[in-house]
Amino acid sequence: MENEAVSKNFIEQIIDQDIAEGHCSKVVTRFPPEPNGYLHIGHAKSILLNYGLAKEYGGQFNMRFDDTNPTKEKEEFVDSIKKDVEWLGAKWHGDVLFASGYFQNMYEAAVKLIKKGKAYVCDLTPEQIREYRGTLTEPGKESPYRNRSVEENLALFEDMKNGKFKDGEKVLRAKIDMASPNINMRDPIIYRVAHITHHRTGDQWCIYPMYDFAHPIEDATEGITHSICTLEFEDHRPLYDWVVREVGYENPPKQIEFAKLYLNNVVTGKRYIKKLVEDKIVDGWDDPRLVSIAALRRRGFTPESIQNFVELVGVTKSQGAVEYPMLEYCIREDLKLKANRMMAVLDPVKLVIDNYPEGQVEYMEVANNQENPELGTRKVPFTKELYIEREDFMEEPPKKYFRLFPGNEVRLMNAYFVTCVDFKKDETGKITEIHCTYDPETRGGNFTGRKVKGTIHWVSATEGKKATVRLYENIVDEEKGVYNEEDGSINVNPNSLQVLENCYVEPELMKAAAEDKFQFVRNGYFCADLKDSKEGAPVFNRIVSLKSSFKMPAK
């Protein structure tokens, strides 16, 4: 990212201009999730964008829950969202804020609008309101209640607040323009009656503000300077501006829209994830095959890899989707120099070295990461009986197969050269044991006296430990696409999870703590599972394999 200073994104350009023109002395941004579900990779973009801008301009980043719709909100989600934002590395200013903390301000703002003749209580039913609203091609019709006096509106709104009306019986509407070409401006509802208990304010209120009215007030109350949201709110911006202007804020925030982040072939919709959880296809919102932040974390993605990913995707106004392999690229890049490179055999077959002393244990000194000497070295036990990958032996090798086959010599990584002298099969033809002889002169594996083409990894059969390893494919059947054309359900890939119970790993890996990450040579990057790893019995999730067809786009 050598030339990142060169071009600024369009939001930075707007901020630069606001500062240059004296509209903004300190940049204040926020992340305003609704606490009604877990955060996903798309939210990570919004979090890191808002936090990144505040940091870049020496400003302030607020964490605010947009909890104005009590039907869907839960405290459980407040906690998980906080945890995810912290983990991503975004540090918010002061305490976490809640839109419900401003219900009084919103109420007062509504009263102010009524007094200015800019809001009225309307008795039309929801169906009538829809009918009166008009269409994209036809103007709306004015409500018969539109011209109520200020006094009458004040009294009725007070009655709404005091619980004199049933849900849906009356609403408060902004008085703007029923003929506006923008439907959002056709006297939008700004308050509704709803006798629902709120997760924070309890039964204090039985009227709740609508999003388009509440959000600008939340922003303005906190002194947000740049209210960054996604493109679908572009048509709502005139209403946003109307609210902050009519309520009379001195330095109103500016709404700026950017394109949502979409990843191809993943499931982000709350409804769909809920179904996958209910159908027990995944083991929760944080199942490592999902792309919620919690799931990515459990899979083994790091905050740095997600930060880099978001950076690479960039900030634009034009909608586009990104391929999942780009995310994989970012985690490989991040772990390349950070993760120790260990030996683990996922599909073991026994290899016996006939001329190696029975019962002897030799410790091989091995670099933890050949490309990063700072990670030091470790000792790996070598014995007469080893496990190697089943695919590293063939009875009748095709051309260009350089691994073990009868008569061939290979290098055991970090150890000796061995030559295959024999093998055993069971009645089904499955290889059960491979016999080799070793050359004591070749210790360390770097012997240059003879050329061998193949290098294979191994784990001591007697000193190594058994471990569970989980391999993943996309939860979605990519051939069929994410959604079933007939019923809109998810096309689930039946092979998305493979659990290997019979793997052998270096004894060192038994010390892995939850979330520790490693490269298993030739097999990929792995992470000790956050939930299922027990002390002395780690469970490893494959984050990503080592190879990819993904190429970084040229700059």
Residue 273 near residue 283 (C-beta atoms within 8 A):
no
Nearer to ligand ATP, 52 or 538 (CB): 52
- x-or-dash string of contact with ligand ATP, 46-75, rule CB under 6 A: x-----------------------------
- By residue count, the chain amounts to 555
CB 350 within 8 A of CB 458: no
**Which CA distances in Å does 139 have to 134, 372, 524?**
5, 68, 60
Q: Which is nearer to Mg ion, 40 or 254 (CB)?
A: 40
45 binds, among ligand ATP, Mg ion, none (CB under 5 to 8 A by kind): ligand ATP
Nearer to ligand ATP (CB atom), residue 142 or residue 311: 311
Dist. CA 177–CA 289, nearest whole Å:
48
| CB of residue 71 to ligand ATP, shortest distance in Å | 14
Q: Which does 60 bind (CB under 5 to 8 A by kind): ligand ATP, Mg ion, none?
A: none
- Burial label, 514 (beta-carbon count in 10 A; 0-12, 13-18, 19+): middle
Q: How far is the CB of 34 from Mg ion (least distance, A)?
A: 4
Tell the burial category of 250 from Cβ atoms under 10 Å away from its Cβ (0-12, 13-18, 19+).
exposed
Q: Are 461 and 436 in contact (CB under 8 A)?
A: no
- Contact predicate 88/47, CB 8 Å: yes
Rounded to the nearest whole angstrom, what is the least distance from the CB of residue 302 to ligand ATP in the complex? Answer: 20
User: Rounded to 5 degrees, what angle do the CA atoms 349, 426, 455 make?
Assistant: 25
**Cα 498–Cα 499–Cα 505 angle in degrees, nearest 5:** 125
Q: How far apart are the two ends of the chain, measured CA to CA in Å?
A: 10
By C-beta, is 215 or 465 nearer to ligand ATP? 215
Size of the site for ligand ATP (CB under 6 A): 14
Under rule CB under 6 A, residue 37 binds ligand ATP: yes
Describe the strand order of the beta sheet including 97-98 as a list of residue ranges. Answer: 28-31, 60-65, 97-98
**Of all residues in this chain, which one has the CB nearest to ligand ATP in the complex?**
42
Q: What is the per-residue burial (b if ≥16 Cβ within 10 Å, else e) of 523-543?
A: bbbbbbbbebbeeeebbbbbb
User: Could you say which of 42, 101, 445, 507 contacts ligand ATP (CB under 6 A)?
Assistant: 42
Among Mg ion, ligand ATP, none, residue 176 binds (CB under 5-8 Å by kind) = none
Does residue number 229 form part of the binding site for ligand ATP (CB under 6 A)?
A: yes
Nearer to ligand ATP, 235 or 422 (CB): 235
- Residue with Cβ nearer Mg ion (34 or 463): 34
Q: Is 268 in the site for ligand ATP (CB under 6 A)?
A: yes
Query: Which letter does DSSP use for residue 552 in this model?
Result: P
Q: How far is the CB of 341 from ligand ATP (least distance, A)?
A: 35
| Contact pick of 85, 106, 261, 420 for ligand ATP (by CB under 6 A) | 261
| Cα separations in angstroms, 531 against 95, 116, 423, 437, 538 | 29, 57, 40, 43, 10
* Residue of the chain from 24, 27, 28, 32 that contacts ligand ATP (CB under 6 A): 32
> Which residue in the set 118, 270, 275, 350 belongs to the binding site for ligand ATP (CB under 6 A)?
270
Nearest residue (CB) to Mg ion, 18 versus 34? 34
Give me the least distance between CB of 546 and ligand ATP, in Å please.
29
Q: Nearer Cβ to Mg ion, position 267 or 344?
A: 267
Query: Could you list the residues that contact ligand ATP (CB under 6 A)?
Result: 32-34, 37, 42-43, 45-46, 229-230, 260-261, 268, 270
